[in-house]
Amino acid sequence: MDQHGFVPRRDFHAKMAVLLNQGGEQSGIIVGSGNFSSNGLRKSVEAGASVVTQGPNEFDAMLRPTVEAAEAFWEQATPVADLLDVYEERWSSSFFRQGAENQLNVEVNHGETPVFWIEAGYVTKNRGPQRPGNQIDFPRGMSRYFGFCPPVDLPANSIIGQVIFETPVGEPVANNLRLGNNMMEKISLPIPETHGFDIYDGKVLLFQRAEGRFVMKALEADDFETAFGDRLAEVRVMSSGRRYGHIT
């Protein structure tokens, strides 16, 4: 926690799993840097190894020192509850932002903003448990970025307007932006696996205005910060902690 900032963005942060089969006298360790995510499994440079032993003698010779070292680290580790609040505060303050409101500032003409973004966070599996989700909630008022100005008393489940997305792969996709039952603005994004995105979870969604449509990108958080971190004109925070705003 004494380190300034949140770098490096890419490093080999190792994880280890110890597998013990007392009845079969087998033991094993899997250690590696990879995450079980689309980026970790398909794009990142990762390293890993597995070791399996048979019987107590092999375990004592090959794995016990590693297991004991891991247990010692665990016993000396700082409980996450002791540092989580400080970490979250520093992480949030590392981004320039104006306010933490769900409503957008009506004094800014968001309808003419050329580039805007939002963190996707966790995307509900609306297409079934085995397929990536594509339906996302926007904060109330984000429709202004898309050029709409719905009335304040718009009833739930009303259509706000149609948004045309241009994607890296496939034809443009036109879907309706509507006000959901939870009074948040809701839209179905292009099917990720058929339009060049693979998955939306954990990505930063970028929208760029282009002659009646919006060119869409889905970036890793560190790639987004590297490319646009010094150009964030306004960063707002939803109650869920997801950030959004526009880029100069």
Q: Indicate whether 6 belongs to any domain.
A: no
CA pair distance 122, 137, nearest whole angstrom: 10
pTM above 0.85, yes or no: no
Over its length of 248 residues, how does the chain's per-residue pLDDT go in tens digits? 455 555 444 455 678 888 888 777 899 998 887 765 655 655 566 778 899 999 989 999 999 999 899 899 989 998 888 887 777 777 666 554 444 444 444 455 666 789 999 999 889 889 998 899 999 999 999 999 999 999 999 999 999 999 999 999 999 999 999 999 999 999 999 999 999 998 999 899 999 999 889 999 999 888 898 889 888 877 888 888 899 999 98
**124-181 pLDDT per residue, tens:** 889 998 899 999 999 999 999 999 999 999 999 999 999 999 999 999 999 999 999 9
Q: Are residues 73 and 113 in the same domain?
A: no
The domain of 71 spans 15-90
Q: Indicate whether 113 belongs to any domain.
A: yes
Domain count, the chain: 2
DSSP for the chain reads: --SSS---SS----EEEEEEETTTTEEEEEEES--SSHHHHHTS---EEEEEEEHHHHIIIIIHHHHHHHHHHHHHSPPHHHHHHHHHHHHHHTS--S---SS--TTS-GGG-SEEEEE--SPP-TT-TTS---EEEEPTTGGGGGT----TTPPTT-EEEEEEEE-SSSS-EEEEEEE-TTSSEEEEPPPGGGTT-S--TTPEEEEEEETTEEEEEEE-HHHHHHHHGGGEEEEEE-TTS-EEEEE-
Q: Of 90, 106, 141, which residue sits at a domain end?
A: 90
Give the alpha-carbon dihedral of 224, 228, 234, 238, to 10 degrees.
0
CA pair distance 117, 145, nearest whole angstrom: 10
Q: Are residues 62 and 175 in the same domain?
A: no
Backbone CA torsion sign across 21, 26, 30, 36: negative
Q: Are residues 206 and 239 in the same domain?
A: yes
Q: Are residues 118 and 167 in the same domain?
A: yes
Q: Are residues 61 and 114 in the same domain?
A: no
Q: Are residues 84 and 100 in the same domain?
A: no
